[in-house]
Amino acid sequence: MNKKSKSAAIKRSGFGDEFVWGVSTSALQTEGASHADGKGPSIWDEFAKGKKNILNNDSPEIACDFYTKYKEDIALVKMLGIPNFRFSLSWSRILPDGIGTINKKGIEFYHKVIDTCIESGIEPWITLYHWDLPETLQQKGGWTNREIINWFEHYVEVCIKEFKSKVKNWMVLNEPMVFTGAGYFLGVHAPGKKGIGSFLSAMHHAVLCQAIGLRTIKKMQPDAIVGTTYSCSFITPQSDSERDKQAAKRIDALLNRSFIEPSLGLGYPMETLPFLKKVEKYIKPGDEELMRAEFDFIGIQNYTREVVAYNFFIPFLKAKLIPADKRKVFHTQMDWEVYPEAIYQMVKKFSKYKGVKKIFITENGASFPDEIIDGIITDTARENFLKSYLEQVLKAKQEELKIKGYFVWSLTDNFEWAEGYHQRFGLIHIDFNTQQRTIKKSGYWYKDFLAG
Ligand code: FCB
């Protein structure tokens, strides 16, 4: 009861006029048209061919067909009154082989998307890399090959040259911890590589690319506003025991600190997480400087918290995450605990870094099994999720932490990586058979909230 009346009170005006509101998507998860108009394959197109890599053998081939439906979708962003739209560019749509020949049709597509946003009064926020590496580059080792710093720099140059007159806000990478951890350590995301060597080399090269991307943008477009985005989870130990507390610190170092700290000149958090010392093998003279970056902002993406226990059998980490369903706590369909305070704690944590100037929540949202009844989707759980997390964002804002904006993940249901189409995060429902869009109750709630 108390919680409900508190939720009802949350208002846009409480965040002030300058606060940035938006919604996020990514290329691979929405565009489809995997092979259309000269696009080259990405590692996710390739990964989806492998049996059992993706739930129900789903593929990103069609996804939300944003490639042909972008006008309709941007019209929905406008109709919902969302002033900022974060999306990503597909590297292999622009450079089918990752380097070399530019695909004019790919460039044209993004010009049309950007123009449609601008004509609709919507500010584009572009992520340069949201996990869909060109497959040709993966054939050469992908993120494990140090050459990627040249490939990436070239890709960024092509994008900035093309779009700098229209786009002000850039994000270099999306969640480097996740694409290197899940893709090169656990093998559960594309390109499905496993092992400490591939992870640490991918990690170091991603850290270098973060900084190189930023510098390239600033050099070519000095008035650009540049950041990068980090996944983060509020980490708590399962008990008060020293072993659990130390285990929680190691997970925190890995999940929350290992990408931002080297960029801020603080180095990899090796004292807390000794196995990170092995990354030294990939560090070349001069890298410490090369890794440093001065971002105008960082994006943080928070969904949940993790509870951690000491575990002798887990290599390198000696720590394990206790799944939410085992803990019998309220969780989303991803088995991510609904824990609103996590977002506040994360804003607080990242605000403490001296080198961080501004923070935007560039993703927050929830997957719940939606039901369409007579054409209506009453996704009250998602609406409550958003409200309860926003209350915590407001608390952070009131405490004058560095929080400056918030983007919901996601505009539409989409291809949720290894979970395929099973997990739905959208404010807008998609019928993947007909491509019909239906605004969910949470979408109307966000509209009303934004309208004040
Ligand atoms: C984040 C990803 C995003 C989406 C959400 C649910 O880790 O950046 O693409 O999959 O999770």
d(C-alpha 112, C-alpha 67), whole Å: 10
Report CA(29)–ligand 1 centroid distance (Å): 9
Q: Give the model's confidence band at 4: pLDDT under 50 very low, under 70 low, under 90 confident, else very high.
A: very low
Backbone angles phi, psi at 358, to 5 degrees: -140, 150
Q: Give the model's confidence band at 9: pLDDT under 50 very low, under 70 low, under 90 confident, else very high.
A: confident
Query: Which atom belonging to ligand 1 lies closest to the Cα atom of 178?
Result: 7
For residue 205, CA distances in Å to 176, 194, 275 come to 10, 16, 17
pLDDT surpassing 70 at residue 70: yes
Q: What is the mean pLDDT of the chain?
A: 97
pLDDT surpassing 60 at residue 240: yes
Q: What is the pLDDT of residues 84-110, one digit of tens each?
A: 999 999 999 999 999 999 999 999 999
Burial of 450 (0-12, 13-18, 19+ CB in 10 A): middle
d(C-alpha 183, C-alpha 168), whole Å: 30
Q: Give the HSE-up count for residue 399: Cα atoms under 13 Å, Cβ half-sphere.
A: 14
pLDDT for the residue 406 = 99
pLDDT surpassing 80 at residue 333: yes
Q: Give the model's confidence band at 3: pLDDT under 50 very low, under 70 low, under 90 confident, else very high.
A: very low
d(C-alpha 53, C-alpha 34), whole Å: 18
Report CA(27)–ligand 1 centroid distance (Å): 12
Tokens of 312: 């002798």
Q: Give the HSE-up count for residue 348: Cα atoms under 13 Å, Cβ half-sphere.
A: 12
- Domain extent for 286: 4-451
Q: What is the pLDDT of residues 122-146, one digit of tens each?
A: 999 999 999 999 999 999 999 999 9
Report CA(57)–ligand 1 centroid distance (Å): 19
For residue 237, CA distances in Å to 142, 232, 252, 303, 398 come to 35, 16, 10, 18, 28
**HEC profile of the chain:** CHHHHHHHCCCHHHHCCCCEEEEECCHHHHCCCCCHHHCCCEHHHHHCCCCCCCHHHCCCCCCCCHHHHHHHHHHHHHHCCCCEEEEECCHHHHCCCCCCCCCHHHHHHHHHHHHHHHHCCCEEEEEEECCCCEHHHHHCCHHHCCCHHHHHHHHHHHHHHHHCCCCCEEEEEECHHHHHHHHHCECCCCCCCECHHHHHHHHHHHHHHHHHHHHHHHHHCCCCEEEEEEEEEEEEECCCCHHHHHHHHHHHHHHHHCCHHHHCCCCCCCCCCHHHHHHHHHCCCCHHHHHCCCCCEEEEEEEEEEEEEECCCCCCCCEEECCHHHHCCCECCCCCECCCHHHHHHHHHHHCCCCCCCEEEEECCCCCCCCEECCEECCHHHHHHHHHHHHHHHHHHHCCCCEEEEEEECCECCCCHHHCCCCCCCCEEEECCCCEEEECHHHHHHHHHHHC
pLDDT surpassing 60 at residue 312: yes
Burial of 431 (0-12, 13-18, 19+ CB in 10 A): exposed
Tally the domains of the chain: 1
- What's the mean pLDDT in 196-209? 98
- What's the mean pLDDT in 381-406? 98
Report CA(270)–ligand 1 centroid distance (Å): 27
- What's the mean pLDDT in 332-343? 98
Backbone angles phi, psi at 13, to 5 degrees: -60, -25
Active centre residues (catalytic): 175, 363
Query: Which atom belonging to ligand 1 lies closest to the Cα atom of 365?
Result: 6
For 188, other C-beta atoms within 10 Å of its C-beta total: 14
Q: What is the pLDDT of residues 159-170, one digit of tens each?
A: 999 999 999 999
For 135, other C-beta atoms within 10 Å of its C-beta total: 22
Query: Which atom belonging to ligand 1 lies closest to the Cα atom of 174?
Result: 8
- What's the mean pLDDT in 385-407? 98
d(C-alpha 334, C-alpha 368), whole Å: 8
Q: Give the model's confidence band at 8: pLDDT under 50 very low, under 70 low, under 90 confident, else very high.
A: low
Backbone angles phi, psi at 405, to 5 degrees: -175, 170
pLDDT for the residue 31 = 99
Q: Give the model's confidence band at 317: pLDDT under 50 very low, under 70 low, under 90 confident, else very high.
A: very high
Ligand 1: list residues with CB < 6 Å: 26, 29, 174-175, 178, 231, 301, 363, 409, 416-417, 425
pLDDT surpassing 70 at residue 301: yes
pLDDT surpassing 50 at residue 2: no
Q: Give, for ligand 1, the residue of 172, 175, 424 to mutate: max count of ligand atoms closer than 8 Å to Cβ.
A: 175
Q: What is the pLDDT of residues 409-442, one digit of tens each?
A: 999 999 999 999 999 999 999 999 999 999 999 9
Report CA(343)–ligand 1 centroid distance (Å): 15
pLDDT surpassing 90 at residue 27: yes
- What's the mean pLDDT in 345-367? 98
Query: Which atom belonging to ligand 1 lies closest to the Cα atom of 423?
Result: 6
- What's the mean pLDDT in 79-87? 99
C-alpha torsion sign, points 241, 340, 343, 190: positive
- The domain that holds 243 is classified in CATH as 3.20.20.80
Question: Measuring from atom 5 of ligand 1, which residue has the nearest CA?
Answer: 409
pLDDT surpassing 50 at residue 325: yes
Contact 290, 211 (CB under 8 A): yes
